[in-house]
Structure 1
Amino acid sequence: MPQAASRDLARAVWPAVPPKPLVLVPVGSTEQHGPHLPFDTDSVIARAVAVEAANTLSGPCLVAPPVLYGASGEHAHFPGTVSIGHEALRSVLVELTRSLSLWAGSVVFVNGHGGNVASLATAVPQMREEGHDVAWTGCHVPGGDAHAGRTETSLMLHLAPQDVRLDAAVAGDTRPIASLMPDLVAHGVRAVSPSGVLGDPTGASAEEGRGLMDVMVSRTVRHITAGVADGRGHLMEPSERKVAR
């Protein structure tokens, strides 16, 4: 009996891989997310967005296994964090693109961790210059807090409630990420927030997480469908075409 087609590359078999598919590659991290969320939070969210987007997009589309290690140096002072740094991550993204391009029609990295942006913004343009059809997009919602606050806690209550320890949740530094960035770059997260939380998980819910997921998936699908990228290879809203650089 022939194998059924699967959008999950890890569980598919090679004869079921369609010709020149779009391949979505979730890019996450293994880093602390406060005392209440697991280390794989970014990877879980990125993969969920990629899977739901793949199920929405028309045409052949596969979701590759996630990249579980990212550039998380700002979290290095918390035990359990594993970071491979920007240069290693850039190399991984480059080699993944070259390998996937041997059989894929196009590649989109779905990024779940802000610390990975510098690597994506150098690797993807390099690959585009080599002639590969590759771009990237991020998992974020307008107005979301920075790290392990209400936004990510709600998403994880929706996606993996068994891994959320709400009884241990605490509020951290609630300043906007733009205000926090100089201290984060200079001293790391722990110097700003001993708990590792940048935001406030209070009020998080699975229902809110479902709504946030819908927003992220819709944005991802629009970005991929429009195919408009800036100079960093970052996919944008179609209305942003005029300001692309």
Structure 2
Amino acid sequence: MTKVRRLAELRWPEAAGVDLLVVPVGSTEQHGPHLPLATDAIVAAAVAERLVAALVEDGVGAVLGPTVPYGASGEHEGFPGTVSIGHGALRALLVELVRSASAWAPRTLLVNGHGGNAPTLDAVVALLESEGRPTAWLPCGVRGADAHAGRAETSLLLQLRPDLVALDAAEPGAVEPIAGLLPRLRAEGVRAVAPNGVLGDPTGASAAEGAALLRAMVASATERARGFVG
């Protein structure tokens, strides 16, 4: 993989000439009894890093920003370890981040690893675009994957951070289609529908499957990012 420039490691003169700032956005929330609280942040950072490498190969002056590790995770607050800053705080953080960065980075791309952040990201992009600050966001996801801490995320973590996966603690949770669970989940939180925090079934997860999922995520993200940078 092409060497990626990381914003936090640059000296200020090295930040001159940046075309695009890419910022992973995750969460700190429960991911079942077998995955780490940072799962969404880990996946977002991995996709963003590979995306930046691909854009650099295209000749884009892209740089990888530090991961935003907190998000809007109120639906997971029934579990110890979850830290949710809510939609209002997340919106303020991202808006001010991009406003500041736009002084030297003409475009910002937010790579999101937590579905609960999506409404805020829509609002953030709309506001910043109205101010003339080119901003976009894209998700880390693949069609057909289970919703939360199931086979897909377990496979991804087995590929990216196997040292943080406790497979002996992995167990199925609520395996019903997510659409049927959403009304109660939104009203009462994840714990009401899945006491172990899993929406799906991690059975059969593997690092090989995680590698394939990651490639698909990166390919989709890269295609969308190329459209954004033109």
Give the superposition deviation at 1:177: 2.1
Match of 1:163 in 2: 164
Matched letter for residue 108 of structure 1:
L
Q: Is 2:130 the counterpart of 1:129?
A: yes
Match of 1:107 in 2: 108
Match of 1:77 in 2: 78
Match of 1:149 in 2: 150
Cα distance change on mapping 1:145 and 1:6 into 2, 3 Å: closer
Match of 2:222 in 1: 221
Give the superposition deviation at 1:18: 4.0
Matched letter for residue 118 of structure 1:
P
- Separation of aligned partners in 2, 1:113 and 1:133: 22
- Separation of aligned partners in 2, 1:133 and 1:20: 14
Match of 2:37 in 1: 39
Relative to structure 2, which stretch is displaced further, 128-137 or 219-228? 219-228
- Separation of aligned partners in 2, 1:67 and 1:33: 18
- Separation of aligned partners in 2, 1:40 and 1:131: 33
Relative to structure 2, which stretch is displaced further, 31-40 or 58-67? 58-67
SS of equivalent to 1:69: coil
Matched letter for residue 35 of structure 2:
L
Match of 2:26 in 1: 28
Instruction: Tell me, yes or no, if the aligned pair for 1:6 and 1:12 is still in contact at 8 Å.
Output: no
Give the superposition deviation at 1:71: 0.2
TM-score (norm 1): 0.89
Return structure 1 stretches of 4+ with deviation > 6 angstroms. none
Q: Is 2:120 the counterpart of 1:119?
A: yes
Give the superposition deviation at 1:17: 1.8
Give the superposition deviation at 1:145: 0.5
Match of 1:205 in 2: 206
- Separation of aligned partners in 2, 1:50 and 1:147: 20
TM-score (norm 2): 0.95
Relative to structure 2, which stretch is displaced further, 176-185 or 65-74? 176-185
- Separation of aligned partners in 1, 2:143 and 2:22: 22
Give the superposition deviation at 1:20: 3.5
Match of 2:5 in 1: 7
Give the superposition deviation at 1:48: 0.3
- Separation of aligned partners in 1, 2:79 and 2:122: 26
Q: Is 2:66 the counterpart of 1:65?
A: yes
Match of 1:232 in 2: none
Cα distance change on mapping 1:45 and 1:6 into 2, 3 Å: closer
The count of residues paired between Structure 1 and Structure 2 equals: 224
Per-residue CA deviation, residues 34-78 of structure 1 (Å, 9 max, x unaligned), is 000000000000000000010111211111001101000000000
- Separation of aligned partners in 1, 2:177 and 2:62: 36
Per-residue CA deviation, residues 3-52 of structure 1 (Å, 9 max, x unaligned), is xx851111222222241421111000000000000000000000000000
